[in-house]
Structure 1
């Protein structure tokens, strides 16, 4: 069963954010669009490149009303240590959620049980806490925040324009489709 359109499950976690430890629950993901970007582990190789890339897009996401979160099965203490020692991670201004129990990773079905780490999973939640976009990669394949930006814009557009859908390679301002009987076989 797909997680698409399911609602974020209950959880409690601690994140490292702006030099502080902050407690989070599923309630923090309601009322605004959110991105949860799961990654395997702190102090690794591909992960800092992805988190730094996402940090570069964070201001634009914030203008769109989207909150960004990073999640790994490391503790919030490890996130702080990584932030203090990595030039790439020093650029991260969004919360890094510690998931040492694996609750969030299991809730989003990205936990690799035998390794105790998460797959590279990206989830976009609407203000109701429903998953509208999900993408899961093998851990050797890094993600691109510019492509995520396009998907978030499409999800927000569809939410704001019932009855319209975004075709392949849709970008903001491009033409959308209005599915109807008259459109069948015309594309």
Structure 2
């Protein structure tokens, strides 16, 4: 069997004799490729046939759910910039403060991640880093969360991701760092009388 091109095109079997499905091929280097279509051509690569089929299954599910392959490389920064450009109702001082907080604490590190790969645990780890290593206080973390949560919500609505990985995280962080405000109770008449004496 001659392997002139990048792929073994004449064979519908891999080098181990396993039958390849439509769209699957084995590359010259022994790795595997799946070419699918979701309105645009795209390829998925893997080192083993089993891994390729898992990736293929995920790619097909993404297409079913309206999550296009092309969206998988979008960074958190890209979606934040789209979200923030639409926040025209903010006062200039608020806008400047939010932009400063995002640019200083998110953009160069966490913001460089592909949004499709960010999980709840990644955001929790990032928030804990801000609290433990940078000594963030509740109000500062609240600003970061108020920027990230709606950014992820926009990513869901625009089909970049399935669900918002930051849902429920604010309460989790507040609880784990004992930032819960104590509940206030109204004073009874007797307590009010004692206070005024």
TM-score by length of 2: 0.23
> Larger Cα Rg: Structure 1 or Structure 2?
2
TM-score by length of 1: 0.24
Structure number with higher relative contact order (C-alpha < 8 Å, ≥ 6 residues apart): 1
Q: Which is richer in strand?
A: 1
